[in-house]
Structure 1
């Protein structure tokens, strides 16, 4: 049994006759004194591969390692298991809903002042969290591998968050790739960002050759988070 939410997973259920790859379900947690409690989950069915078991374990393990540093950005992964009826491995997450690209684009990226040089408070805090998360992940050679894809972002706890952290763990780690992917997605979602000097300077800094590996750059966080566009000007 796997330990989750202070107890142990006794059983879990989802509609295994569904052909969907994302399905809502429930898990039953056993606590001391034979106390049980049922929690909702969202199940992601992994593609059938020879190493699906390792992929599932990597997603859960890497997500848990990073949760303390990017908990506001990452969907919690509870456990991975083999679903016998469909003969595939699954990852059980806290409940989430798939997002549309329009959901990712809200709220606005730039403030509504006349010059629109500043990020909105939401995106300033979000970018600071992204930088911290990717810095911590790089120190542990944990890579997402698909941050440029809108399908990597879902709605959870009332906001946009990331799933599948560590899903490409078996691929060769490539320093700076996740940051490049994130910048690429933002450029697609907010095309006018390329005309904002302060934002372009931050983007160029983060994907520069000098800063490409956050794990090896001395004072990386101090330099990146000290950029003017990320500072609270209120």
Structure 2
């Protein structure tokens, strides 16, 4: 790791450790190998104090950010899972939901997002999802891929559902939105997944070089002075 990156990471860890959410206050099933947890306000303070040294990603899928909005400080929307048209019924036999499918390019897309800020896998990453339940899975995936400093925002963007009262079932408990932090329905092009999707990036490269990864020999010779001399 570059000495500068080590220093930045150490400073970020020091600046948040005194205020970070205690592991004991996080659901056991939401624990990650990093044991780095933040509440919405802490995440906001971290990204606003060092915006160029931290990557803040929203791992919800495109329909979620499109219809529900996104935190203004998020650097990139990189879905950990995609929606599908496959229906999954719940145990009560009445309700259900559409299955979500794992994004196989998630880790590579996060690398692309880090590189856009001149950061590597050692760069601090903060993950936000809907309620805090999806972020740990994304963090564990990044841990396996060699990332070193990944925080989860444990309350998510919308928070959790109220368990009782007239608002039972509505996401009005905790979360980024309920904390009154900046968010918007207007999505910025530069933050969308199309900018970080490895497959789309490769396709764009191919369109610029229609012959693919390898330039045909005849074309190589056109640009190679030695090749021209050989033809003589």
With normalisation by structure 1, the TM-score equals: 0.25
Which has the larger share of strand?
1
TM-score, structure 2 as length reference: 0.25
Higher RCO (CA 8 Å, separation ≥ 6 residues): 2
Name the larger-Rg structure. Answer: 2
